[in-house]
Amino acid sequence: MAQVGSDLRHHAPSWLSVRAVVVLTGLTALAAVAFLALVVVPAGGDFAPTTWWQLALFFVIAVVSDVVYVPVRHADAWEELTFVEIVLIWGALLLVEPLELLAVALLGFLLAELLARRQAIKTVFNLASHAIASVGLLTTYLLLRGDSTMFGARSVLAMVLAALVFTGLNLLLLSFVLLAADDVPPREFLGEQWALSLGMALGSVGIATMGLAIEQNTPVLLPFAALPLLAMWYAYRASSSHAAARERSRWLIELGQAISSPAAIDTFVPQAADALRRVYGADDYAVVLAGGRRFGAGHDWAAVDLGDADAKRLEPGQMPRTWARGVAVRFEEQGGTGVLAVGAQIATMGALRTPWSRSWEISETEMPTLVALTSAVSSAMRVGQSLSALTAETAKLQAVVDNATDGICVVDARGNVLLWSPAAQAITGITDVAAPWPPILRSIIAVPADTVGHLLEFDRADEQTVTLHVTRVDVYGSAATSVITIRDMTRERRAERLKSDFIATISHELRTPITPIRGYADLLKRRWDRMSLEKRESVLDTIAERADHLARLVDDLLMAARADTETALRVDTATIDVVAVANDAAKAFPEVDGRLRIAETSPLLVTADRTRVMQIIGNLVGNALKYTPAGSPIDIAFRTVDEWVEVSVTDHGGGIAENEQEKVFERFYRIEDPLTMRTGGSGLGLHISRQLARAMGGDVTLNSSPGHGCTFVLRLRAEG
Amino acid sequence: MATILIVDDEPSVRALIRDTLELEDHDVIEAIDGPGALTALHEGDLPDCVVLDIMMPGMSGLDVLTQLRSEAATKEMPVILLTAMSDDATTWAGWSAGANVFLPKPFDPGALLDWIDRVLEGGGEMEPTL
């Protein structure tokens, strides 16, 4: 009754599973035939003697009934409905020897399969499933018929049951192979098919018995027996068209859905083209876009030039190599003309290459709808292309907004915040711009239109005082919006403050030594005669010493200026003993003898500039002396860590708070208020020390906790 | 001849002022910071005049001046403020605190002596120049 014609391509999970079904079916068929030969035939009793013409007739009917089929589609698989069971019913009722009957029928089916040039694997499956179903039919009939005559009630009833067994087995086997090949759920398949199959089984019994009755009584009327057969064939055809239409509707809906929500080209084109080829029952599609991009089977195919035609049947050589037939349709897209083709594949099975048995075609009446649908697909594609261009553009703008260091805020005419960029969030610490707004956000949004560089200062949630530089530009268009950019000026403002503090400090530092120089010069001039010789000498010493101090201060300033241009800090490195250098540096502080304790260590060789190292240690010791109470000790110690030598200068003063520890290395930074600062100094010493150490490949770092003093560590590269 | 208290943390500046005043036969008392100045004023004989630096560690000259003006004994004491910070804000702060003379560093020792003479004579105060 039915054969499988699945082309086993589109959803086949794997060849193995289909093969497993075929092998299993084959083995079951052998077992069934053996059962028939060993159990049923001996029990069946007397069989009618057969003549050669009878067997020849059966053979011919078997071939014809298998060749004339109605294709019914299940997803990508095709079920082919035939009338093969008529031969079996006829033979069984005549009590033809079952094995002979089976052999003749199977030979007839085999010839039919070869005529239809089906794939080997399908032929094997079809023959095996026929064998199983046929054995089922013959066994059921022979075991139930008993002694009944050919047209006795029991015989007819047995035949009806036998035909149902035949149909049932066929359906079951078919559902297995469809599951393996195309993922068609057996429940769904059986649910769709049982009514049609039942009708076919009963129809076959009726036609076969009536035909036989006519043959027995009035053979001349036999050709009329073909009329109900013809009627049934038409009924099947109608049912098949119905199933095909249902399938087509399903894919038209899918296509409609794809068109109504065009995704990116890469997703949309394969999706829409696949739906389109399924609408027309084609095996494959190929799309070549104007820009040369290809989808589907288009990779070995140069799109044909359709000239003025909208659609065209493809000649061999004009379509993908794997296709037996195809139709190409032209469509307009961005930047030119694309071509979409659908077609039937040449069936392949391993090395075997056979033309596909189905004569797939798109009729002339279907062509206009194919052109129209393709045009709808191309429109959707253009929408998709515009959308993706828009998406790309939006992504670019988004990247700008996300990565701009200035905060960006967009506000509409009614004051709604439309955009609040990540930088704006980071600068202000405000992530949620829903009302009620924090005061600073209100101030930002209240900045008048077309203001450049409005300064706002506020205390952020993390307790930092932040200075903002807010610029607002109003854009008047279809929707009036304001674009507000927010720049964090905290660092710049701090740098400005440091600079003005520095100027105050440095003017104090420069004037302090100038005061005695200038003052003593005047005094010498005015009161030379009233001053003793010793006094004059001591005054001149003071002038010279203060002038030196002034010169050192100017050197420091110049060096700090150079340190920031990075290139000009010159160090001349050589191998030096850092312990000896530290001891020399300590000699510059004779008045603190006793406070300064230098660890006694054997020489430690480093690669460094001797003068610079003296300067750094002098700076560190000078700082320690300045910032700690008189009498408290300062310790200089040495140690080796990996390839480094570290010189530490530890004081026992008040220490430095953690948030000040990095700042002390900044240029001009001073912890104290310039008006009450306890010590002189430009605020450059530590900055210069660190820059010098880094120029020599080392560093100066600070470890401190308030109340426990400070340890400044000079780290230099050990020699060797 | 007068007794003058010099308050400055910088030794070389103290020495210059001391030398200048001693050459004119004034008596000099020295303090190296604000608290030292207040101790000298509270514990010893009151000087005739104070020469006071503004920028000093711990307690600034302005703090010392404010303290002097708040005490009866030193309320009218002539005070000459010396500073290396001659910006407007500091100058104004000095006048507000009650300085008689505001002298920016570096200064001419002759000018210092002139001002000392004038304030000792009870002479007029210098007008603030902003």
Name the pLDDT band for A9 (thresholds 50, 70, 90): very low
Domains of chain A: 2-229 (1.10.1760.20), 261-385 (3.30.450.40), 404-486 (3.30.450.20), 493-563 (1.10.287.130), 574-717 (3.30.565.10)
B85 and A674 in contact by Cβ < 8 A? yes
**Residue A546 near chain B (CB below 8 Å):** yes
- State which H helix or E strand residue A203 sits in: helix A186-217
- What pLDDT sits at residue A567? 56
Q: What pLDDT, on a 0 to 100 scale, did the predictor assign at position A484?
A: 92
CA torsion, ordered A22, A28, A32, A38, to nearest 10 deg: 130
Tell me the one-letter amino acid at A119.
Answer: Q
* Residue A537 sits at the chain B interface (C-beta within 8 Å): no
Sorted by where each starts, the structural domains of chain B and their CATH numbers stand as: 3-120 (3.40.50.2300)
* Cα A238 from Cα A58, distance rounded (Å): 28
Contact in structure between A2 and A197 (CB atoms under 8 Å): yes
Do the chains contact at A512 and B16, CB–CB below 8 Å?
Answer: no
Touching check for A520 and chain B: CB below 8 Å? Answer: yes
* Element holding A379 (H helix, E strand): helix A367-403
Q: Nearest Cα to A261, choosing from A272, A246, A273? A: A272
Chain B residues touching residue A522 (CB < 8 angstroms)? 108-110
Q: Which chain A residues touch B84 with a CB distance below 8 Å? A: 507-509, 511-512, 515
**Nearest CA-CA distance, residue A713 and chain B, Å:** 27
DSSP string for residues in A307-330 = TT-SEEEPPTTSS-TTEEEEEEEE
**Digit-coded pLDDT (tens) for A615-651:** 899 889 888 887 777 778 889 999 999 999 999 999 9
**Which chain B residues are closer than 8 Å to A675 by Cβ?**
54-55, 60, 62, 85, 90
Structure confidence by residue, pLDDT tens digits, B70-124: 999 888 899 999 887 767 777 888 888 888 998 888 889 999 999 999 998 875 5
Instruction: Please tell me the predicted confidence (pLDDT) of residue A655.
Output: 84
CA distance A434 to A248: 52
- Is the minimum CB–CB distance between B69 and chain A shorter than 8 Å? no
- Give me the pLDDT at residue A631, please: 78
| CB proximity A530 to B under 8 Å | yes
Q: pLDDT class for A355, splitting at 50, 70, 90?
A: very low
Compute the distance between CA of residue A347 and CA of residue A322 in angstroms, rounded to an integer: 8
Lowest mean pLDDT among A49-58, A182-191, A314-323: A182-191
Q: Look at the block and give the residue holding tokens 């400005």.
A: A496
Q: What is the pLDDT of residues A587-612, one digit of tens each?
A: 777 666 678 888 888 999 999 998 88
Question: Which SS3 state, helix, strand or coil, does residue B122 take?
Answer: coil
Task: Give the residue from B8, B10, B14, B16 with the most A CB atoms within 10 Å of its CB, the best one to mutate.
Answer: B16
Query: Residue A523 and residue B20: Cβ atoms within 8 Å?
Result: yes
Closest CA to A5 of A269, A411, A359: A359
Tokens of A155: 């015989």
User: How far, CA to CA in Å, does A373 sit from each of A275, A296, A366, A381?
Assistant: 11, 18, 11, 12
User: If contacts are CB pairs under 8 Å, which of residues 675-694 in chain A contact chain B?
Assistant: 675-680
Would an 8 Å CB–CB cutoff place A516 in contact with chain B? yes
Highest mean pLDDT among A426-435, A625-634, B58-67: B58-67
Cross-chain residue pair A523–B16, CB shorter than 8 Å: yes
Mean pLDDT of A298-302: 76
Residue B2 in contact with partner chain A when CB distance is under 8 A? no
Asked whether the predicted pLDDT for residue A350 surpasses 70, the reply is: no
Q: Which two tokens stand for residue A445?
A: 């949004």
Which string of DSSP letters, residue by residue, matches A29-58? HHHHHHHIIIIIHHHH---B---HHHHHHH
- Who among B54, B56, B106 is closest to A515 (CB)? B106
Residues A658-698 pLDDT 10s? 878 888 887 766 665 544 444 455 567 888 888 889 888 89
- 8 Å CB contact between B7 and B51: yes
Q: B105 and A514 in contact by Cβ < 8 A? A: yes
Percent over 70 (pLDDT), chain A? 89
pLDDT of A79 reads: 62
Note the pTM of the prediction, 2 decimals. 0.45
| C-alpha atoms less than 13 angstroms from C-alpha of A405 in its C-beta half-sphere | 4
Q: Which residues in chain A are closer than 8 Å to B55, comparing Cβ atoms?
A: 508, 674-677
Q: Which candidate in A501, A502, A591, A675 is best for mutational testing of the B interface (most B CBs within 10 A)?
A: A675
Model pLDDT, residue B7: 95
Measured in angstroms, the CA of B123 and the nearest CA of chain A are apart by 24
Q: Which of A102-106, A316-320, A516-520 has the lowest mean pLDDT?
A: A316-320
Q: Does A396 touch chain B (CB under 8 A)?
A: no
Burial of B99 (0-12, 13-18, 19+ CB in 10 A): buried
* B77/chain A closest Cα distance in angstroms: 23
* CB-CB under 8 Å, B110 with A675: no
Nearest CB to B109 within list A522, A676, A677: A522
pLDDT value, residue A711: 93
| Distance, CA of A65 to CA of A712 (rounded, Å) | 104
Mean pLDDT of chain A: 82
d(CA A636, CA A613): 14
CB contact under 8 A, B84 and A511: yes
ipTM: 0.89
Other CB atoms within a 10 A radius of the CB of residue A649 amount to 26
* Best B17, B18, B19, B22 residue to mutate vs chain A (most A CBs within 10 Å): B19
Q: CA B16, CA A193: separation in Å to the nearest integer?
A: 121
Nearest CA in chain B to A524: B20
Give the pLDDT confidence score for residue A347 in this predicted structure.
53
Weakest mean pLDDT among A79-83, A551-555, A629-633: A79-83
CA distance B124 to chain A (A): 25
Q: Do A515 and B55 touch (CB under 8 A)?
A: no
Does an H or E element contain A376, and which? helix A367-403
Structure tokens at B103: 């002298």
Average pLDDT over residues A412-437: 87
In the numeric block, which tokens belong to residue A420?
């609040």
Packed helices A120-145 and A85-93: angle between N→C axes, nearest 10 degrees:
30
